[in-house]
Homo-oligomer: A and B are copies of this chain.
Amino acid sequence: MVSAGSLGGVNDLYRRILRLRAIRDFQPDQLSDDDLAAILEAARWTGSSKNQQEWAFVVVQDREQKERLCRAGHYTKPIHNAPTAIAIVEEPAGNEFDSGRLAQNIMLAADAVGVASCPITLHHRDVAAEVLGLGEGQRCRYAVALGYAAPGAGPRRIGGRKPLDELVHRERY
């Protein structure tokens, strides 16, 4: 298989895609305005089904509001640890596939400007909807925790991946 290193200098993009990992521990410093703006701009430009952009981004930085949002999921410690969370709201006509594309773009754009991130599942949609003040038909099932990585913060040790020969099929499964 191709190793990222074999692709030469032009492929900083490719290398960083391969290297992206969720980080769960952050420095207390808030994101700079420029870094947050860059991340939101990349979010905005994410592609979506029929370019419908049926989403909204709620930037949560208030400590108490973050704690309330933490109650919407089972494994939300990274939101507690992070200075910023972006809650991904699906408008009524939105879908989770597009939310996933969005989250990946947010994480990669964050990485590009030196910001670490972790996607978070909000299992209790009713709690998330109440905390975020969502209306009829709007849903928030996912958020991304964002901050500058704490010294020594790294991905979990269980971070390996299945080999390609388990994952790839030709023509039919």
| Chain A residues proximal to chain B, CB less than 8 Å | 1-2, 7, 10-14, 16-18, 20-22, 34, 37-38, 40-47, 49, 51, 53, 55-62, 65, 89, 95-105, 107-109, 111-113, 119, 121, 131-135, 138, 141-142, 156, 158-164, 167-173
The copy count of this chain in the complex is 2
Could you tell me if A164 and B44 are in contact, using CB atoms closer than 8 angstroms?
A: yes
Chain B residue, CB-CB nearest to A42: B17
> Contacts A18-B45, A57-B167, A168-B40 given: A103-B100 contact, CB under 8 Å?
yes
> Contacts A56-B173, A89-B173 given: A44-B167 contact, CB under 8 Å?
yes
Of B21, B158, B171, the residue contacting A65 (CB under 8 A) is B171
Closest Cβ of chain B to A166, distance in Å, is 8
Closest Cβ of chain B to A118, distance in Å, is 9
Closest Cβ of chain B to A36, distance in Å, is 9
Could you tell me if A12 and B14 are in contact, using CB atoms closer than 8 angstroms?
A: no
* Cα–Cα, bound, A156→B105 (Å): 20
Could you tell me if A14 and B109 are in contact, using CB atoms closer than 8 angstroms?
A: yes
Q: Which chain B residues lie closer than 8 Å to A51 at the CB level?
A: 156, 158-161
Could you tell me if B58 and A109 are in contact, using CB atoms closer than 8 angstroms?
A: no
Could you tell me if B100 and A55 are in contact, using CB atoms closer than 8 angstroms?
A: no
Could you tell me if B100 and A104 are in contact, using CB atoms closer than 8 angstroms?
A: yes
* Cα–Cα, bound, A119→B104 (Å): 15
Q: Which chain B residues lie closer than 8 Å to A43 at the CB level?
A: 167
Top 3 closest pairs, chain A to chain B, by CB: A100-B100, A14-B112, A104-B104
